[in-house]
Structures are given as structure tokens and as C-alpha cells.
Structure 1
Amino acid sequence: MPTDKLNLDFLPKHVTHLLEQEKKAELQALLAQFRSEDVAEALLELDYAEIRTVLTWVDVELASELVTHIDSDYWYELLTPMDEPRLVEIVRELPSDEAADLLNELDDDLAEKILAAQGNSESYQNLATLLQYPEETAGAMMNPDIVYVPESLNTDQALSMIRQNIESFKDINYIYITDARRRLTGVLPLPALIAAPTQSLIEEVMTRDVIAVDVMMDEDDVVDIVRKYELMTVPVVDAQQRLLGIITIDDILDVIEEQADEEAYKMAALGELDNQASAFQAALTRIPWLLICLGGSVSAGTIIHLFKHTLEEAIVLASFMPAVMGMAGNTGVQTSTLLIRNMGGGPLPRNFLWRMVLREFRTAFVIGLLCGAIASSVAIYFFHSNPLIGVVIGLSLFLSILFSTFLGTSLPYLFQKFEIDPAVASGPFVTTINDSTALIIYLGIASMALRYLL
């Protein structure tokens, strides 16, 4: 299959042309030349109506693959207007965990219709089981379409069973072993099973120390376990240790991507974004933090007003206020972002934390000296200011950078201590506080200098 960039770059235009000419057979032949992942990426350059037409024209197997490769954020707008019978076919073709994710993105009424259309099939039973678990739990993540091996079999019988159910094992590197009551008793890597002596009992060659997660475990905790033990798959069990399904590495990667998005949104004070939300709902989500920022800006304006006589005596000070505020805010955000990133894996060891804080202060010291010297020189040589004013500007910038580094390191740590997500301590929050404190430092030093030295 061609995957070179030139062919892929022209694919969206070619697809659009074939859709306009209503050449269904030619479109099917064209897309058959590419991997479904590349086709899905190319389709995102088309509008939703064109993508729906493609999903209708191609065979249902390819359509289901394309849907899984399209980001779930687009599913609602893309699939809701689709013909219901075709949507039922696509859902039926999807793995149960992917189908459940898709139904969760649709309106409840449409999801119930699609689920009911599955009949009393195994697909319906698996979907109904997955949908009963709360979102963002191991139960909602898992794939129940698994084949497990009874511990009473021997290795030859187990291999024969795998051959008969090869579709269920094609992406699995581990074989999970159960007793007569379907309770998880062990795990066996597929290479170890192949290499085991013939006619050996499974219970004799399997590993009993198997790491499993509870069906109600939060997905973030599941990710932590997978990271800690470097797992490719993890079995899901109930309170009686019965095997219910497995979570594969692709499901884990999806959660990690969601976590990264959530952290980015929090650090930008956006809260939880919902693509289906109205403009009013989106505004309500964002406005609390923005009001805090507005309050900080008003505070900064009040501080400037309180020091208006200082600014009147040395107007050049006003020219450097944006530089002092900007450098303080940016330094604080950089420091807090670095600390929050290291906190992503959980609480930091105390020795590591202090070593990191000291390094950040040393870094801030160097940055403050350099930027302060540059700002002081600019004030003296380009603005022809009194040398003492240049020193005031440089010293204020130096101290503001040090204080912003203190805030950038202390706020995330304090937030974590009080079990508040440290990510909210970055972005606009740090910048708002730094703006006010930087102004107080800057104008306070300037006032004292003008009063006592000039």
C-alpha cells in the first residue's frame, strides 16, 4: 500500500473529485490502496457530509476501521446525522469497547435505538455489559471479547484452542488462565506457551503472580499500574476475581492522550471542554478563572494608581512596566509548568523536590541578573535616564523574577498538599498574581529611590 507523502497529500482532493462525480466503484478502489489510518487522516480535510458519504459507500468493515481512527471528539457531529441502519451496521462491526465508546458520544435516544437494533446477539450482551459501568472506569475501558484458557488443559489443547479462536488472540501477547468458576488464576506469555513441553499442564507452566485491576477502578489508576509494571495488557476482574475482560495498550494510550489534553486545558484555565456544549455553557465553564484574572488586572490598575506620583516624577518607569510584569509572569509559568510536569507521576520525593527547587532558584538568579542588566542598560543609554533609575529598573526586574520563581514552585506544591489539582496553579493563575506582586516590587523600590536618593 502506498504511504508516501505525495500520494497522501493528493488523496483528499482525489476523494472529493470522485464524490462529486459519484464514482462509487472508483472511490472504493482508490481507498483500498491505502491503510485505513492514512485514509482517516485524509478524510478529516473533508467536510462532515463528504465523510458520511464515504462511510456509506465503502464496505462496512472499512467504515468501522475509519471511525475508530477518527478522533472521538468528532463522532457526535459526524455520525449523528448518518442513516440509522448504516450506523447500526458500523457499530455491529466495531469491537465492543470501541462500540461502547461511540454510543457514549451520541445522544441517549439514538444510542438506545442502535443498541436495541443489535438484537439479542453476543454483541448486544457485551455492549449492555460495558454501558452499565461508569465512564472513566476499568469496566468502561475493557474489551470483554476475550478467550481465556482453563487451567485444566494441557499446552497442546491450549494451542489448539487459540488456533480455533485466532481472531480473539491476534493482538494479545498474554494468555489468561482461569479455574472452573472463571476466576483468574494465572497468566502465560504466548511465546512461553509455544516453547513449553507438549502435554504439560497449563497450571504447571503458568505464572500465578498476575497483576489485575478491579472493574470499578478509575482509569487514571489503571494507567498508573500499567506504567509501573510496564504492561502491554491488563486483565479486569470483579470482586470475586472472575475475569471480565482485558485492557490493551491502545486503550491505555487513549487515556494518556485524554490526560494530556485535560492538563493542557486546566493550565489554560479552560476547565473541562465539551464539543457539544453551547456557547453559553462554554462561557460558564471558562468565566470563573477569567473573573479571577480580571480581579488581578483591576488590582494591578489600583496599584498603578496608588503610585501615580512616582510615575509622574519619573515617566520612564512606565515604559518598563510591561517588561517587568511580562518577565515575572513568564518566569513563573515556566517554573510551575516544569514542576507540575514532574508531579504528573504522583508526589515527588522530598530530596528530589528540594533539589529541583534550588536548581530553579539558581536558574532564576542567572536569568534575573542578565535581564536586569539588559533592562538597566537600555534605560540608561537609550532612554537617557538617570543611572539610578536604570539601577531601580534592573533591581526590580531581578527581584520580580526571583519572587515569581518562588510562586511557581510553591503554589503547585501547596495545591497538591491540599489535594487540589496542581495544574490549576499554572497559566493565568500564576500570571495574575505575578503581575500584581511585580508591580508592587517595581514601584515600591522606585518610590523609595525617588524619596531618599534623588
Structure 2
Amino acid sequence: MSETELRVADDDSQLDADDRLRPEFVDAVLDAVEAGHAEEARALVEPLHPADIADLFELTPEDRRAALAAALADLLDADVFAEMNDYVREDVIDTLDARQVADIASELDTDDAVAIIEDLDADEQREVLRAMEPDDRAAIEEALSYPEESAGRLMQRELIAVPEHWTIGDTIDFLRGSEELTTDFWEVFVVDPAHRPVGTVALSWILRTPRSVAIADVMQREQTLIPVDMDQEEVALRFQKYALISAAVVDASGRLVGMITVDDVVHIIQEEAGEDTLKLAGAGDGDINEPIAVTVRTRVAWLVVNLGATMLSASVVGLFQGEIARFALLAALMPIVSALGGNAGTQTLAVVVRALATNQLTSSNTARMLFREFRVAIFNGAALGTVGALGSYVILGNAGLSTVFALSMIFNSIVAGLVGVVVPVALDKANVDPAVSSAVFVTTITDVMGFFSFLGLATLWGLGH
């Protein structure tokens, strides 16, 4: 046994208490690869679950992934690629030829195969598709014809469908007698002669019902059908609302073309939950494996927009430079007004964007939501204004300045609450993603109104004279 194997063997497990690969194990595998001991590296990695092998590649520096992939080529099966981070998977696939990629894609469910192939360049896509079996190629090409992040891309075509005139016995004989059927399913879809879904039967019902009973007598006729062009976020909302395990996907004519299962939806919920938060911050995908050039390009664009908004706010301050010069304490307090207004607006914005994303906020309750946030803004503004006035008076000892400070905070809090609702709702009505565009508008408005209200009230109060 080599020194590397001895070091890992002395440890209780390759995983720590949180089921993450231990740094010592990762180093041992990479050291074995670097030393040219491919068999040793494979022996260390072979006991791992496919998800842990995928994690190993994600924990490996980008410049060492190609060597690791070459050493572990025999272990890189479809299950490992299905678990990989998108950016890491692209790196590893670049080390494989078209035939290897085609073999891996052929072993996957259609939705997972599409996830691999859709990220390839057009030329690489054609080369991989040419290397696939005709049936697999046709299924992938059909999936790629649907819009990105739609049910058509997400669905898998491997499902069980039986005619409504069959009995339970016919269904069981069919399931047992065909070796080409998918092995992972929770329910059987029942279809009419035109292949339109008319109901579903859970496996538990099939197992517990006498063979002579007609399938139509035990099927559940109420079902949630997913249009093939539905956005994946809406698909996830339907699964969440109706507690679905799987659902039929239908084309424009109502024919059954695929199914979506809850394991796919879990990934969507996770992606969408983080996506809106990252969009609000202008952080792009927020993936630590994202290429630096892509990250810089995304963040710089957002920061440039924010720079323009900040310059607009600064122009408002410039209108009152005379008052500020005569009464310098204004410069000490005005950033507080704009900052607290921005924070209040961001709070409201986050709530509204989430409500829009989960369909909690609709046309029927927008006015109620606006009135609710208006009341919250008044209470928050009153609390902030009171505390701010007392604090500023204790520190600065100027009653007039403290009064202006309090009034401007109340005013800007109300503005923040209103724009935090109005801006994302208006953008949503205009079919613009509110998660992407709302923050810059809300921040700019609260900054401008914060400076304008504070400095304007100070001028009217005569603090600069």
C-alpha cells in the first residue's frame, strides 16, 4: 500500500460530519494523479457516490480537472455528469470526444442529456448528435427545439402510458413483459386513443387492486397538465401548490409528450430561489465556478448603471451646495436619510419580488399590498424619525436640525415603501424581470428623494441662514 493510500486509510471516512469531502482526501486523490498513479486515484474514488465524485471535480482547481478526468475516465458515468455543476461539467466535457459525450448522454434521462448537450457549441452539438443512436438523437433534437427553461426542456420522455380500456391485469403484464420501459416512475398515465391523458394511477393502487378491475375505474381523473411551453418557474409553482410527485406534459393539441418529476422541480426551486436574490444584487449567476471574465462583465455592467444613478443623486445635492456650505452639519446627516430610505425600499422590494415570483401578488391584491406597505412605511418612518431626532439632538444639540431630520426620514420611508411596490409591479406588467431591474430604480428614487426632502426642508426651515 502506498503512502497516499495509507494516509487516507487511517481516516474514518472520505467525508466529514457534514457529508462533504475532506480536504485530506481531495489532496490525496490529486497528489496521486499528479504523481501519475491513475490506478491509485481510481481506487480512492471508486467507493464514492456519484454526487461525491461530482463534488470532487468541483473542489479541484480548474487547471487540474483535465488530468483528474483522464485518470478517472472509467468512473465518469452518466450519474456523475448529472450531478455536476454546469460550469465544471463544461470543463470536463471539453476533455472528452464526441463519441464519449454521446455515450454518456444516451445513458441519461432526456432532461439530463439535454442539460449536457444544450451548453455545447453549435458545431460540438451537431457532432455529438451525429454520434448518437437515431431514437436518442430525435428525442434530444425535439427537446432542443423548445425554449430554454421551458417544460419541454425540463421534461423526460421516458414514461409509462396505457390505454383506458385496459384492466389492472393488462397493465401489470405490460409492465413486467417489456424490458425497454423506464424503471423509475411513481404513477402510470392513462391515455385515450388520441394519446391525450385522461387520468393517472399510482403504483400503490395498481399493486393493491384485483387484476380484473378496469384501469378506468381506479384512475384519478383530476390531474395537473403542464403545457410544453410553460416556464420552468411556473412549473415549480404548480408542483408546490398541488403537492405533485409527477405531472404529464402535453403539446398544443393536448397529446402526452413527456412528464416532469419532483426531483427535477427541487433543482428548479433551488435555482430560482437564489437567482432572484443574485439578480437584485447584480451578481450574475453567483456561481463560484463561473469564469472570471463572465463574472467581471456581469458585475461591471451593473456597477456602471449604479454609478449613473449615484451621479444623479449627487446632482440633487449640488442644488443645495450653498446651504451645505453655510451649515456643514447638513452634510453629516443627509447620507443617513438616503441610506435608511434605500434600506427600507430594498426590504419592500425583496418582499414584492418574492410575492410576484410565487404568484402571491396578483392584479386582485396589488392595491391591498400597496396600502399595507404604506402603513408599514408610516410606522417605520415614525420610529426611525423619533429615534433619529432624539439621537441627533443629543449629539448636535440643534432642535431645528433634529426636526428636519425626523420629518425627512418619515417622508423618505413612505417614498421607499411606495416605490418598493410600484416599481417591480410596473416592470412585471411590462414583461420586464423585476428582479433584474427594480433595485436600481428603487435605490435611485430613494436617494434622490432623501437628499431632496432633507435639504429642501432644511432650506425652508432656514437652517443655512
Residues 202-211 or 106-115, more deviating: 202-211
Q: Who is 2:405 aligned against?
A: 393
In the alignment, is the contact (CA less than 8 A) between 1:11 and 1:42 conserved in 2? no
Distance 1:349 1:182 in 2: 35
The answer on 1:236 being equivalent to 2:249 is yes
Deviations 1:86-119 (A, max 9, x none): 3333223222221122111011111111111124
Q: Which amino acid aligns with 1:86?
A: Q
| Closer/same/farther in 2, CA of residues 355 and 276 from structure 1, 3 Å limit | closer
Aligned-residue CA RMSD in angstroms? 3.3
Distance 1:60 1:162 in 2: 32
The answer on 1:367 being equivalent to 2:380 is yes
| Closer/same/farther in 2, CA of residues 395 and 83 from structure 1, 3 Å limit | same
Distance apart, 1:267 and its partner CA? 2.0
In the alignment, is the contact (CA less than 8 A) between 1:272 and 1:285 conserved in 2? no
Q: Who is 1:157 aligned against?
A: 170
The count of corresponding residues between Structure 1 and Structure 2 is 450
Distance 2:294 2:156 in 1: 37
Which of residues 248, 262, 268 in structure 2 aligns to 1:255?
268
In the alignment, is the contact (CA less than 8 A) between 2:345 and 2:446 conserved in 1? yes
In the alignment, is the contact (CA less than 8 A) between 1:150 and 1:180 conserved in 2? yes
The answer on 1:443 being equivalent to 2:442 is no
In the alignment, is the contact (CA less than 8 A) between 1:340 and 1:423 conserved in 2? yes
Distance apart, 1:396 and its partner CA? 2.1
TM-score (norm: length of structure 2): 0.84
The answer on 1:223 being equivalent to 2:223 is no
Distance 1:389 1:24 in 2: 74
Distance 1:61 1:157 in 2: 40
Q: Who is 2:322 aligned against?
A: 309
In the alignment, is the contact (CA less than 8 A) between 1:3 and 1:34 conserved in 2? no
Distance apart, 1:441 and its partner CA? 0.3
In the alignment, is the contact (CA less than 8 A) between 2:55 and 2:84 conserved in 1? yes
Distance apart, 1:155 and its partner CA? 1.7
Q: Who is 1:334 aligned against?
A: 347
Which of residues 201, 216, 224 in structure 2 aligns to 1:203?
216
Deviations 1:265-315 (A, max 9, x none): 44235678999999599748964x655534432232222222122112211
Which of residues 181, 184, 206 in structure 2 aligns to 1:193?
206
Distance 1:61 1:23 in 2: 15
The answer on 1:405 being equivalent to 2:413 is no
Which of residues 395, 412, 418 in structure 2 aligns to 1:382?
395
Distance apart, 1:388 and its partner CA? 1.9
Q: Who is 2:6 aligned against?
A: none
The answer on 1:318 being equivalent to 2:331 is yes
TM-score (norm: length of structure 1): 0.86
- Runs (5+) with no aligned partner, structure 1: none
Q: Who is 2:43 aligned against?
A: 29
Distance 1:180 1:363 in 2: 57
Distance 1:350 1:236 in 2: 28
Identity %: 27
Deviations 1:421-451 (A, max 9, x none): 3334532221111111100100011111126
Q: Partner of 1:199: helix, strand, or coil?
A: coil
| Closer/same/farther in 2, CA of residues 53 and 203 from structure 1, 3 Å limit | farther
Distance apart, 1:326 and its partner CA? 0.8
Distance 2:295 2:68 in 1: 33
Q: Which amino acid aligns with 1:214?
A: P
Distance apart, 1:316 and its partner CA? 1.0
In the alignment, is the contact (CA less than 8 A) between 1:150 and 1:177 conserved in 2? yes
In the alignment, is the contact (CA less than 8 A) between 1:56 and 1:63 conserved in 2? no
Residues 212-221 or 334-343, more deviating: 212-221
Distance 1:311 1:191 in 2: 76
Distance 1:233 1:226 in 2: 8
